[in-house]
Amino acid sequence: MMPLPEDYLDYPHRRHGMDQDFYDWRLTGERPNISWPEGKALAAMIVIPVEWHRLNPQGKPFRHPGAMVTPWPDLRHYTTRDYGNRVGIFRLLDALAAAGLKATVPVNAVMLERARPMIDAIAEGGHEIAAYGLEADHIHWSGLEAGEEVRLISETRDAFTRAGLSPRVWMSPARQQSFDTMKLIAEHGFDVCLDWEHDSVPVPMRTGNGEVMAVPLYNELDDRTLLVDRRQSEDEWAGQILEAARLMISEAPRTGGQVLSFSLTPYVSGQPFRLHAVRCVLEALAGDEGVWSASASEIAAAAR
């Protein structure tokens, strides 16, 4: 048996708190309470991710959770994703309009030209359009070649500029970051990020290029995670979102305002047999006087 090297147990970041410098470690009771507009107890952030998936993804360093599943050509899953962007998302937009709610819509930059009528419908509905990287197959991670992540973010910003859009909100493909992502998105004019879920309130992040507010987006309430990966029923999923809302509202006198966030993925919750659950959630949130429905940038601004 070979002995361990002498420095095996040495870890330069071992200390009280966090092993990164974006934000300081703190207990829930130590953070300042947030007051949402009009004294609302809970901010609800609804996120609709608009993704473009390749028929033959490279899958580096891993495949996006919504990427193709079977060997080339995986037309079944490919056309399902396409169905979401042509049919499912319009059902979701109609449901939001009926409930009087607004969403934050992160968009892969390649979709700006591929599906301009959809982009126009999102904007006309008063929803916030956010940047979602170039496309689902361009994952941000620290193994990228030098300069590649700068190119990806720069091309994303340029594509939105050409489309006449100037989003402040960023979400990384697969919500995966490198060690430099936060610094680079701040450099390119993004000051709100949806990649993190480390708290139930927005947290300001130090990037070296200015502050980026991380507004939490809960994977634990994500429709794809619960309905597809964990195979829960639509009623169970809707019940979990509304139970989370009830608990967070009840905690408000002690913890201050928190954020309830969840995704409505067009090819998942935009399916016709799931719309009853979507409507149930939206109508309940819209009818609750303690809930403030807001975009990511509105929530970030209120938290600041």
pLDDT in tens, 200-257: 999 999 999 999 999 999 999 999 999 999 999 999 999 999 999 999 999 999 999 9
**Does 1 score more than 70 pLDDT?**
no
pTM greater than 0.85 (yes/no): yes
What pLDDT score was predicted for residue 31? 85
Helix (H, G, I), strand (E, B) or coil at 222: coil
pLDDT band at 4; cut points 50, 70, 90: confident
**Distance between CA atoms of 155 and 111, rounded to whole angstroms?**
13
Residue with tokens 């009087």: 100
Whole-Å CA distances, 260 to 54, 108, 200, 249, 294: 31, 24, 8, 10, 10
Interval 64-109: pLDDT, tens? 999 999 999 999 999 999 999 999 999 999 999 999 999 999 999 9
**Residue ranges of domains in the chain:** 33-303
In this prediction, residues 106-114 reach a mean pLDDT of 97
CATH architecture for the domain at 33-303: Alpha-Beta Barrel (3.20)
As given in the structure block, the two tokens for residue 67 are 């990427």
**Distance between CA atoms of 218 and 180, rounded to whole angstroms?**
22
**Does 13 score more than 80 pLDDT?**
no
Interval 116-157: pLDDT, tens? 999 999 999 999 999 999 999 999 999 999 999 999 999 999
**Distance between CA atoms of 201 and 34, rounded to whole angstroms?**
8
**Distance between CA atoms of 204 and 190, rounded to whole angstroms?**
13
Interval 176-209: pLDDT, tens? 999 999 999 999 999 999 999 999 999 999 999 9
